[in-house]
Amino acid sequence: MQKATLTILGCGSALPTRKNFPSAQILEIRDKQFLIDCGEGTQIRMRQMGVKANRLGHIFISHLHGDHCFGLIGLISSFGMLNRTAELHIHAQADLEKLMETQLQYFCADLPFKVIFHPINPRKHELIFEDRSVQVFSIPLKHRVPSCGFLFEEKPRDRHIIREMIDFYNIPTWRILKIKQGEDFETDEGEIISNEQLTVAGDLPKRFAYCSDTAFSEKIIPIIEGVDCLYHEATFMETEKRRAKETYHSTARQAAEIALKANVKKLIIGHYSARYIHQNELLEEAKTVFENTVLGEDLTVYDM
C-alpha cells in the first residue's frame, strides 16, 4: 500500500518559539508532496528533516498572514539555486502574487523554473486542484482576514487482484492494469469473468483536512465529515476562550468538538500560542472531548 504521511515542519502561531516554527506542513500522498502554508523557516525545516522536495509541485496558502507565507520567497529562491526546473504552483488568494511580484523580480530574476499563481476564493468550498489521483477542495474558515482550509482527497485506489484467480484463468500481464481498475475479463472461449471474481476492493482513499487559522465554526463539519485525519488549530486553551473569540482562533477543546461532531478518525492539533510552554495541557484538554487527539509537533511525521 502506498503510504500517506503528514510531516509537520512548523506548528507554532505568529510568534515563533524555541520549539515551534510558524505554520508549514507537507502532505505526502500517492508519491506526491503538497506543501500547506509556508511560514518563515520552512526551507530550513525541510533541510532539517531531510525532505527532498523533488516531488513538490503545489503549495497551498491558507491566508495572507505572515506566519503562513513569509517562507515562500526563501524557498523559491533556494529552489532556483538548486536548479529546479519543474514548474511550481502556488494556490493562494490573489493578493499574494502582487505582494511577491517585486521581490520575485529582484531576488529571483534568473529562476530556472516557472512560478505559477492560482488564485483561490477563500469564501467558497470548491475544487481548487485535481490530478490523476488527488483532489483538493477549499474549506471556508472564519478568521480576522479571509482564510480557508484545504481538504485533500485521494481518488479511488486500484483494486487488488486475487493472484490465484489470475493464474487460474491464465490472464496475460498486459490485462492486469485494466482489471485493477475494475474491468471484467473475457476468456478465449468468450466466457465473462466478472471483476468481483478477480479482485478485492483496494485500500480506502485517504482524506485529510487542514483547518487553520479559524475560530470555532460548525460550518466546516459537513465538508470534513469522516476524514482520516484532521489538522485543526488550537491556539488557546479554554481559559483563554474569550481571547480565542476576539482573535478568531480556536481553543483545544473547540478543535476536539469539531473532530467529534465531524466524526473524524484522528485529530492533530497545532498553531499553539507562544504562551503555552507545556503543550500537553492543550492535548489533555482536547482529549477530554475527542480521545484520538495527537499533539502536533515540529519535525514530526504522522501516518495517516
* Active-site amino acid positions: 67
Contact range with a copy of itself by CB under 8 A, out of 11-19, 53-61, 156-164, 173-181: 11-19
11, 248, 9: which is closest to 147 by C-alpha?
248
Cell of 15: 510568534
Shortest separation between residue 135's beta carbon and a copy of itself, angstroms: 31
Among the listed residues 14, 165, 171, 176, the single contact to a copy of itself using CB under 8 A: 14
Non-local (6+) Cβ contacts of 198 within 8 A are 161, 162, 165, 166, 169, 171, 179, 184, 185
Shortest separation between residue 210's beta carbon and a copy of itself, angstroms: 22
Nearer to a copy of itself, 66 or 226 (CB): 66
Could you tell me how many residues make up the chain?
Answer: 304
Terminal CA-CA length for the chain = 12
Contact range with a copy of itself by CB under 8 A, out of 51-59, 91-99, 204-212, 226-234: 91-99
Torsion of CA 83, 86, 89, 90, to 10 degrees: -10
Shortest separation between residue 50's beta carbon and a copy of itself, angstroms: 8
Q: 3-state DSSP call for residue 301? A: strand
Q: 3-state DSSP call for residue 294? A: strand
With cell 506548528, the residue in question is 11
Q: 3-state DSSP call for residue 47? A: helix
The alpha carbon of 196 is separated from its chain's Cα centroid by a whole number of angstroms, namely: 33
What amino acid is encoded at 34 in this protein?
F
Q: Are the beta carbons of 258 and 295 closer than 8 angstroms?
A: no
Non-local (6+) Cβ contacts of 246 within 8 A are none
Nearer to a copy of itself, 103 or 181 (CB): 103
Shortest separation between residue 249's beta carbon and a copy of itself, angstroms: 14
Non-local (6+) Cβ contacts of 193 within 8 A are 165, 169, 184, 185, 186, 187
Contact range with a copy of itself by CB under 8 A, out of 12-20, 111-119, 183-191, 287-295: 12-20
Nearer to a copy of itself, 29 or 76 (CB): 76
Binding track over 100-139 against a copy of itself, x by CB under 8 A: -xxx--xx--------------------------------
Q: What is the largest CA-CA distance in the chain?
A: 74
Nearer to a copy of itself, 11 or 259 (CB): 11
Q: Are the beta carbons of 117 and 85 closer than 8 angstroms?
A: no
Nearer to a copy of itself, 52 or 132 (CB): 52
Shortest separation between residue 212's beta carbon and a copy of itself, angstroms: 17
Residues 236-265 that bind a copy of itself (CB under 8 A): none
Q: How far apart are CA 74 and CA 38, in angstroms?
A: 10
Binding track over 39-78 against a copy of itself, x by CB under 8 A: -xx-xx--xx---------------xxx---xx-xx--xx
Size of the site for a copy of itself (CB under 8 A): 31
Query: Is there binding between residue 21 and a copy of itself (CB under 8 A)?
Result: yes
Binding residues vs a copy of itself (CB under 8 A): 14-18, 21, 40-41, 43-44, 47-48, 64-66, 70-71, 73-74, 77-78, 81-82, 95, 98-99, 101-103, 106-107
